[in-house]
Amino acid sequence: MKMVSLKEIENYFKQVEFTDDHLQLDQCSTITNLEKFYNSHLQALKKNSGDKRFMPYYMRLLKFYYIYKNSE
């Protein structure tokens, strides 16, 4: 999976209208509130920019981005 800047992810999701659907992110993770997931991960990453401990947030957000992008 190619790394994408947080700004690019943010710009992409400005045009997305989230639904009430659930999304299977991976084998162990199901997102039940898409908009809340996106907003919470984005804010955590913005507030902790450069902190390697928040890399799992970025990786989940990146998977989320690619799932949405590939479903177009």
Q: The dihedral of CA 66, 17, 7, 25: what is its sign?
A: negative
Question: Residue 63 in 3-state DSSP?
Answer: helix
- pLDDT of res. 71: 83
Identify whether the C-beta of residue 60 lies closer than 8 Å to the C-beta of residue 25. Answer: yes
Instruction: Give the predicted TM-score (pTM) of the model.
Output: 0.92
- pLDDT of res. 1: 86
- pLDDT of res. 18: 93
Question: Residue 24 in 3-state DSSP?
Answer: strand
- pLDDT of res. 16: 93
Per-residue pLDDT of the chain (72 residues; tens, 9 = 90+): 899 999 999 999 999 999 999 999 999 999 999 999 999 999 999 999 989 999 999 999 999 999 999 987
Question: How far is Cα 64 from Cα 26, in angstroms, rounded to an integer?
Answer: 10
Which residues share a beta bridge with 58? none
